Chain A
């Protein structure tokens, strides 16, 4: 029977993508919904272990390896795929559904990869399948952003492959296990992971491409790529101290950009880097508590960030606008979406009883326990900041603020349902975290709910809200403006093209001159050759065979004479 634990989790998604092409109407909708549901149910019956090993050329590959860490991400990606599929059920464009299923399947393939070659294959498939969710927007901007996204993602894959091959050459080992930051191969793999994880300066593909995706595509995009990178880091580089500082920087710098960014989905993209920063810090600290926190936060973030991207996708879908400067007052006609968005906002801000709280506090406690005081202060700053830009700014400028006069209805039922399920999950995990805690790689003993933590967190958040109210009332708060804010991408979107143009401007004439000079010399040589060896040249005349025989006879005669001498 094919429906056994031997079946790799990505297979149903790839088969589903094929069926989408072959079906129409309600059958297609059924296929879409059934793929993540049946795939998820099947995964529930899978126990940790290695299920498949094969030899390819000289390599031993392990395409299907299951342990607690990969299982957790496996469950998570099924939930994310289901929410995404439900949210995009009204979309008529089959290409988007096919791309989404292939993308989710590739993420699952990578999560269960037991060797680095399999990881590389799915790593690249992830890039190629996801870009169609950006291009499906159909605008020139989306096309260009998708192209930049694809180039950077494929570059990450190339670095990964280089690292893997060097590692194989050095050690003969292809296992996707703990690598540690030691040697060229490990560094290449680390940077490859870092690109997908949106490390500082390598992060702009995320803020560039995600806001250009379709309203539904951005929900899928926010779920898989970066979380897979977090998974990869947790497996290969736990306890790498450098990650603590990279993570701390990631939590802090994007929130400044988020405050002044106008496109609300781009605000979410920046806040995503901020949230990944918490996970990266946790992986860097590397204790059982910190790894648990990082992994649990990845789990929660997929759901609450998915919820926030869904709510903004719903706004974009209904109004056709997404800039904070163009929106406002939507709570009047979209009260359900508003409420669900606020649940997502509370979760990302880590309000007690919402999911962010039960995972982020693990990382914060771990940072404090290990004596990273300044990192802890940075994380605390970022926690206040995330409430400010994602918790308040997103719902405030979209649904409240000044009334933009837009009167649209609630989004389609499937969108509302997907958001509602995500919201229920946020509150459920936040109120009863033990179901999630039981899935974590290490045993969790302490409840995050003690009076000190809860009150401290509430103080932090409510006084952040107070600061927002004060700044807004006093008119100090920067208005939402239609603008672009310079970021690291300036290097390749502004400086790069200009540098190339300048280079071509200087080197071009020199190059042309040199070519012409060389061509003239070559022509002169060719003329000489032509004169002597051409059809009428002295040396090219045909000689009769007889003269050839004569000369051979002369040569032989000379040889004979020399021999006798």
Chain B
């Protein structure tokens, strides 16, 4: 089961440049999606939606808040793995 370094072939994300390529692709898609807002005619129903890049900003901010808030929650909520086992 353990890794055999000599024998094993190299995998996709073993090379740092592949990870970089992957990230660049992500950045490019994000940029294209925001720019797309300028190109096509949008059929929106709500005023918030008309703001430029509303969904993009909302998605980014929502996730950042989610993760950072969850990280803070750990300070209050996190206990040892066997926390309940002592009582059960």
Residues of chain A touching chain B, judged by Cβ–Cβ distance below 8 Å, are 141, 144, 255-257, 259-260, 331-332, 365, 368-369, 373, 376-377, 380-381, 384-385, 387-388, 400, 403, 405-408, 450-452, 455-471, 476-478, 481-487, 493-494, 497-498
Interface of B, helix, strand, loop or mixed by DSSP: helix
Query: Looking across the interface, which residue of chain B has its beta carbon closest to that of A495?
Result: B87
Number of interface residues of B (CB under 8 A): 54
Cβ contact of A463, chosen from B56, B66, B87, cutoff 8 A: B56
Query: Does B60 lie within 8 Å of A485, measured CB to CB?
Result: no
Query: Does A455 lie within 8 Å of B37, measured CB to CB?
Result: yes
Chain B proximity of A471: nearest CB distance (Å): 5
Chain B proximity of A151: nearest CB distance (Å): 13
Point out the residues of chain A lying under 8 angstroms from B80, CB to CB: 483-484
Docked Cα-Cα span, A481 to B46, in Å, equals 41
Docked Cα-Cα span, A476 to B55, in Å, equals 23
Given A259-B70, A459-B33, A462-B59, verify A469-B26 contact (CB < 8 Å).
yes
Task: Identify 22 residue pairs between A and B in the complex whose beta-carbon atoms are under 8 Å apart, listed by A's number.
Answer: A144-B88, A365-B45, A373-B48, A380-B62, A384-B66, A385-B62, A452-B40, A455-B42, A460-B59, A463-B56, A463-B59, A464-B59, A466-B26, A466-B60, A477-B67, A478-B70, A483-B74, A484-B78, A485-B73, A485-B74, A485-B78, A494-B83
Query: Does A259 lie within 8 Å of B66, measured CB to CB?
Result: yes
Within 8 Å of chain A (Cβ to Cβ): is B15?
Answer: no
Cβ contact of A493, chosen from B58, B63, B87, cutoff 8 A: B87
Query: Does A384 lie within 8 Å of B78, measured CB to CB?
Result: no
Query: Does A405 lie within 8 Å of B55, measured CB to CB?
Result: no
Docked Cα-Cα span, A369 to B46, in Å, equals 9
Query: Does A384 lie within 8 Å of B2, measured CB to CB?
Result: no
Q: Mark B46-88, 1 if CB is under 8 A from A, else 0.
A: 1011000101111111111011111101101111111111011
Chain A proximity of B39: nearest CB distance (Å): 10
Docked Cα-Cα span, A354 to B56, in Å, equals 20
Docked Cα-Cα span, A332 to B3, in Å, equals 11
Docked Cα-Cα span, A455 to B37, in Å, equals 8
Given A368-B45, A458-B33, A476-B68, verify A464-B60 contact (CB < 8 Å).
yes
Among A377, A456, A471, A494, max chain B CB count under 10 A is at A456
Point out the residues of chain B lying under 8 angstroms from A461, CB to CB: 59
Cβ contact of A467, chosen from B11, B55, B64, B85, cutoff 8 A: B64
Query: Looking across the interface, which residue of chain A has its beta carbon closest to that of B70?
Result: A259
Query: Does A459 lie within 8 Å of B49, measured CB to CB?
Result: no
Point out the residues of chain B lying under 8 angstroms from A469, CB to CB: 23, 26
Chain B proximity of A393: nearest CB distance (Å): 10
Query: Does A466 lie within 8 Å of B74, measured CB to CB?
Result: no
